[in-house]
Amino acid sequence: MIKISLPSDVNFIIDMITKAGYEAFAVGGCIRDAILGRIPEDYDITTSATPEEIKTIFKKTIDTGIEHGTVTVMLKGVGYEVTTYRIDGKYEDARHPSSVSYTKSLREDLLRRDFTINAMAYNAKDGLVDPFGGQDDIKRKLIRCVGVPYERFSEDALRIMRAVRFSSQLGYEIDEDTKTAMKELSGNLSKISEERIQVELVKLVCSDHPENMRVMYETGITKVILPEFDAMMETPQNHPHHIYSVGEHTIKSMEEIEKDKMLRLAMLFHDIGKPKVRTKDEKGFDHFHSHPEVSFEMTKDILRRLKFDNDTINCVSKLVGFHDKLIEPNEKAVRRAMNEVGEIIFPLLLMVKKADVMAQSDYKRHEKLQRLATLWSLYTKICENNQCTNLKELKIKGQDLIKIGYKAGPGLGEELKRLLDKVIDDPSLNNQDTLIKLAMEDLR
Ligand code: ATP
Ligand code: MG
């Protein structure tokens, strides 16, 4: 019998519920991850006790999702979701059940879960409960629906994206019948909220297999959630710098960058405007004039549509807008670019540029990489020497200007910018005495 070691607090919760006369198991993702030797993100517990009964067993609980049978049990400041065995009622709108009802059967609770690998439960007393072959599917590296795929995806269309997401995180294939149903029903994703779609998209994009964006395209998922991606897949680029379509280049560039949300999203969107601006010259070469600007605007719109937070929208769209920015390989130009792009985004921009180059043809690749390496070492040097690239680091403030006779108002800001400009060109000017002298000259 397979043995899984659960954290002591999880065992404690299970024991307490069991002593009160009910069943309780750790369930879902945590069991899948434990079998895989991965560290589970969190532990969910499923039980035959009702939420009311759970609340009498534990001192501190929170009603996090009482309408679907979930209470959070708090232990030493950590929350554990405890959910009553549940049968989901009829799904009438491809996203939520019209009713949920409790059941005394663990099997029925597992039956409502999406994939076999997510439909296993475990406790120390009863061992592993795996009625649908989850362990086998882990061995076969397979994402397979519990029950009839067509029905399961009809109930909740988000599961179609979850299939690709788990396949990407785990490096698993999707079972043929499951995949067929995904293709047939992907249109229903239009009924799913952007918030839920965003969660799955980010998990896929940040996984070991971002190339599964191709699967998203082939199954008709992006057609619904990100039709701009389909346009990239369908836009060739006949040009010496390229060997791939815009879409395939995009996928390759995602593989070439680390698994960071901002960076992966930046690669996903960096050329999103290309299909809109493509022109052909007389030799038959494709050109994409002003594609960074168009991509910048589109990225902002799309991320807003997908309900991303402002930090993500700002960072990703900036990286997209600047991805093709020409930076001369000298200190002055790098300081100026750091000022324009922002000192936090700048190093990310160099990573984006590198991934972009790596996803192009070999043509001039060596020169392009050499140039980026130079920019990187200039950037490091500027940081090491604490050279000023923004107003925060300027050794003079508005207050100092007022003391020597400047009036508060827009003129003050303009003067600070003028001084910053000089300091960016010549870092040795960044000390208060020199800057006061320069400001006094400007005043006269
Ligand atoms: P992660 O490690 O990303 O959190 P997870 O498997 O824990 O993966 P969750 O979204 O946290 O996924 O959901 C917990 C469990 O609830 C799943 O393992 C699955 O059993 C069930 N589940 C979640 N979403 C659905 C859904 N849309 N349809 C059916 N079952 C679902
Ligand atoms: Mg989870």
264-319 pLDDT per residue, tens: 999 999 999 999 999 999 999 999 999 999 999 999 999 999 999 999 999 999 99
The closest of 132, 136, 128, 93 to 115, measured between CA atoms, is 132
Q: How many CA atoms lie within 13 A of 168 on its CB side?
A: 25
The residue whose CA has the least distance to atom 6 of ligand 1 is 29
Mean pLDDT of 169-192: 98
Could you identify the atom of ligand 1 that is nearest to the CA of residue 41? 2
**Distance between CA 374 and CA 439 in Å, rounded?**
34
Residue 31 has phi, psi (to 5 degrees) of -75, -45
Q: Which two tokens stand for residue 12?
A: 């404690």
Ligand 1 first shell, C-beta below 6 A: 28-29, 41, 44, 113-114, 118-119, 156, 158-159
pLDDT at residue 98 greater than cutoff 90: no
What letters, b where the CB count within 10 A reaches 16 and e where it falls short, cover 272-310?
A: bbbbeebeeeeeeebebeebbebbbebbbebbeebebee
- Give 185 Cα–ligand 1 centroid separation in angstroms: 20
- pLDDT value for 3: 93
128-177 pLDDT per residue, tens: 999 999 999 999 999 999 999 999 999 999 999 999 999 999 999 999 99
Could you identify the atom of ligand 1 that is nearest to the CA of residue 203? 3
- pLDDT value for 156: 96
Q: Helix or strand or coil: residue 259?
A: coil
- Give 16 Cα–ligand 2 centroid separation in angstroms: 23
Mean pLDDT for the chain? 96
pLDDT tier at 241 (50, 70, 90 boundaries)? confident
pLDDT at residue 357 greater than cutoff 80: yes
